[in-house]
Structure formats: C-alpha cells, structure tokens
Amino acid sequence: MIEWLTRPEVWGLAGLLFVAAEFLGPNFVLFFFGIGALLTAAATALFPPLGGSLLIQVLVWLGASVGTMLSLRRYLKGIFRGWVDRRPLEDEYRGKEATVVEAIASGHTGRVRFQGTTWDAVSYDETFAPGDAVQILKHENLTLVVGKTVADELAAYEAEQEE
C-alpha cells in the first residue's frame, strides 16, 4: 500500500487536482499545494531513493507548498485576480440620453433603450411615455434612474419666462 502512495504519478495527479480545485475557491491557496505536489512528483521521479519514504515526501510537499506560497502568493494573486475597474458605473452613464420603450411612472419601473439594449428604468417623480427622450441621472445595479433631458428643462424654463 505504501509503495503505491509514493509513486510520482500519484503526486502529479494530486498536484493537478489541487490546481484545478483552486478555480472553485476565492482564497488562492490550493494552487500552492498543487505546485508543492507537482514539485514532489518531480523530486520523487528524479531521486528514486526519495520514493521509499512517504514521510520524507510529505515533508518535501509541505515545504515546497509553504515555500512557494510565502514567496509567490502576493505577486501571483494580482495576476490571477486580474485588473478590476473600480470606478462607479454611474459616472459613465450619468448625463447620457436614453429613449423610453415602456412607460415609466413615478414609483413604477419601465424600460429605456440605451447603448443598443433595453434597461429597467425608474423616475423619482416624473412620468414618461414610450418615445420620450430621458436623461440618465444615476445607475443602480441593473436599473437606470432617469429624468427630463436638459433640452426639455430648458424649453420649460423658456416657456415660463415668456409668460
């Protein structure tokens, strides 16, 4: 039984399983146990006397795993996590115009067409009919908060001034 456990192929398979299991968790730790197992597989294959002692192999595995984790985790974590744009999305959408495709009433969700797709949209205190142009005030999750466009507000202001 012990001879079967000390084969390089077993360590190699264990290493691949640890690396694959890393995709299931967010902590970026299993990857290093996988690297340690792959290094142990290589050491066991290159130095046959190492294959006779399971205790020495486990110590090599733990040493390689902890050593690579302590020396490489901080550097590799940034690479594997990727770059994330942390700017709020609302800044990108604020002030842009959209077209109402389903009526929006105060307190009731409608839909607008924006950037080639439709979005849920709400208004704080205004009602809009399909075809109306609206301005995006805010972006909350997958819903746009909309209001009158600047052109509509300007026209309303000019109408008030003429009276």
Q: What per-residue confidence (pLDDT) applies to 137? A: 87
The DSSP line for 103-121 is -BBTTB-EEEEETTEEEEE
CA 126, 130, 133, 137 torsion: positive or negative?
positive
Q: How many helices (H) and strands (E) does the chain have?
A: 6, 5
Q: What per-residue confidence (pLDDT) applies to 90? A: 46
- Element (H or E) spanning 31, and its range? helix 30-46
- Tokens 């130095």 sit at which residue? 47
Q: What per-residue confidence (pLDDT) applies to 108? A: 87
- Residue 34: name the closest of 96, 1, 80 by CA: 80
Instruction: With 0.75 as the threshold, say if the pTM is over it.
Output: no
Label residue 110 by pLDDT band (50, 70, 90): very high
Instruction: State whether CATH 3.40.50.720 applies to domain 89-157.
Output: no
Domain-wise residue ranges, the chain: 2-81, 89-157
More confident residue, 3 or 122: 122
